[in-house]
Structure 1
Amino acid sequence: MLTMQYRIVLPTDYPMAIIERRIAERGHLTDGLPGLAFKTYLYAIKGEPGAAANAYAPFYLWRTAEGMRDFLSGPGFAALSESFGRPVVNVAVAWFGEWQGEAEAARHAVIERLPLSAVEPLAARRAAEEGWGRTRLRDENALGAASAFDPAEWSLTRIVLLREAPDNLGPGCELYRVGRVSLGAA
């Protein structure tokens, strides 16, 4: 599995209702997408807790590299690039990715980015991340979790899909609204 995210920072005065409408009108197009586990349509509104800027930042968990390849070279990503310019796409190797049957009910997501220690054995960290994910999913507020590492930068990205916004955020965490969750083909 792979994770993928791009983050498009929008002007402070950008009417975020445009993003909400875009998600409402086009979000269903990724339902049942081959190779996709899930896509979360994330966005942030400057001034809200955990949001440093207006942003559109979808996050994907892919079952297959071919699904990701086909999406990036397909009409959906071409339309996004036409509207906002071609964004930098961050890709990482998933160590954990699971979701509950009602993942579509998620309304918030927390993304955490951490450096990986150069001396920590990766096998041990992978096992720890699986434990982290399973623990997170025991929380009744959590509907999905994924953890992935980027071997180019030796960093770790975690995402947790939530019904309700958390009471507090840890350091290095970003809070997003979830406009929609699309589940890929089984």
Structure 2
Amino acid sequence: MIVMQYRFTLPADYDMTIIERRIAEHGAKLNGFPGLLFKAFLVARRDAAFSEENRYAPLYVWESAAAMTQFLQSPGFRRLTQDFGWPQIDTWLALRLPAVTEVKSAAWLSIARETIPAHSDLSALQLHAPLCGWDVSRWQLLQVDFVGAPQEGKENYRVAYVASEDMG
């Protein structure tokens, strides 16, 4: 499984209802997308708790590289890049995954990224969150919590919608 995220930082005065409306109108289109375990449509507002920027930052979990590639080559992703620009896409190999029902029941998602020091005992990595992944090209550990409120010291997003393969 592959965890994928890109983030669009929007101007401080950006009307975030545009993003929320876009999610409401188009989010369900990804329900049942082949190979997509889930996509959490994530929004951060500059005026919200623990957020200094307006952001749209969806988080995906793909069953395979082929499924992720199919999405990145799709007209929907092409339209996104035309509207918001060409994003840097971060990817992690999944180490631990939550049940989709846990993701769908969360109001907030909190992210922590940490460097994995050189020569670490990789079998002893401390995985504290329901979703964990690692980027072995940058030696970075990703830990994602699905919570009811933002968490201090973490990157926080409101979960605006969750699309999934089971559509339930």
TM-score tier by shorter-chain length is over 0.9
Match of 2:157 in 1: 176
Residues 50 and 176 of structure 1 are in contact (CA less than 8 Å); yes or no, is this contact kept in structure 2?
A: no
Residues 44 and 56 of structure 1 are in contact (CA less than 8 Å); yes or no, is this contact kept in structure 2?
A: yes
Structure 1 portions without partners, runs of 5+: 134-144
Residues 92 and 149 of structure 1 are in contact (CA less than 8 Å); yes or no, is this contact kept in structure 2?
A: yes
Match of 1:97 in 2: 97
What CA distance in whole angstroms lies between the structure 2 residues aligned with 1:114 and 1:18?
32
- The answer to whether the aligner puts 1:149 opposite 2:130 as a matched pair is no
- The answer to whether the aligner puts 1:79 opposite 2:79 as a matched pair is yes
Cα offset, 1:90, TM superposition: 0.5
Residues 38 and 60 of structure 1 are in contact (CA less than 8 Å); yes or no, is this contact kept in structure 2?
A: yes
What CA distance in whole angstroms lies between the structure 2 residues aligned with 1:84 and 1:9?
9
What CA distance in whole angstroms lies between the structure 2 residues aligned with 1:99 and 1:147?
13
Cα offset, 1:102, TM superposition: 5.3
SS for the counterpart of 1:98 is coil
Cα offset, 1:159, TM superposition: 1.2
Amino acid paired to 2:111: I
Q: Name the TM-score, length of structure 1 as normaliser.
A: 0.84
Cα offset, 1:105, TM superposition: 2.7
> After superposition, what is the alpha-carbon deviation per residue over 1:101-142, rounded to whole angstroms, capped at 9, x for unaligned?
3532322110111111212121222xx42xx24xxxxxxxxx
Amino acid paired to 1:158: Q
SS for the counterpart of 1:101 is helix
| Aligned-residue CA RMSD (Å) | 1.6
What CA distance in whole angstroms lies between the structure 1 residues aligned with 2:78 and 2:119?
40
Match of 1:110 in 2: 110
> After superposition, what is the alpha-carbon deviation per residue over 1:30-71, rounded to whole angstroms, capped at 9, x for unaligned?
111111111100010002112120000000111111110100
What CA distance in whole angstroms lies between the structure 1 residues aligned with 2:101 and 2:136?
31
Match of 1:15 in 2: 15
Structure 2 portions without partners, runs of 5+: none
Match of 1:4 in 2: 4
> After superposition, what is the alpha-carbon deviation per residue over 1:80-109, rounded to whole angstroms, capped at 9, x for unaligned?
101001111111111111225353232211
What CA distance in whole angstroms lies between the structure 1 residues aligned with 2:16 and 2:42?
12
Percent identity reads 37
Match of 2:124 in 1: 124
Residues 106 and 181 of structure 1 are in contact (CA less than 8 Å); yes or no, is this contact kept in structure 2?
A: no
Cα offset, 1:75, TM superposition: 1.3
SS for the counterpart of 1:37 is strand
Q: Name the TM-score, length of structure 2 as normaliser.
A: 0.93
Q: After the TM superposition, which parts of structure 1 deviate over 3 Å for at least 4 consecutive aligned residues?
A: none
- The answer to whether the aligner puts 1:37 opposite 2:29 as a matched pair is no
Match of 1:67 in 2: 67
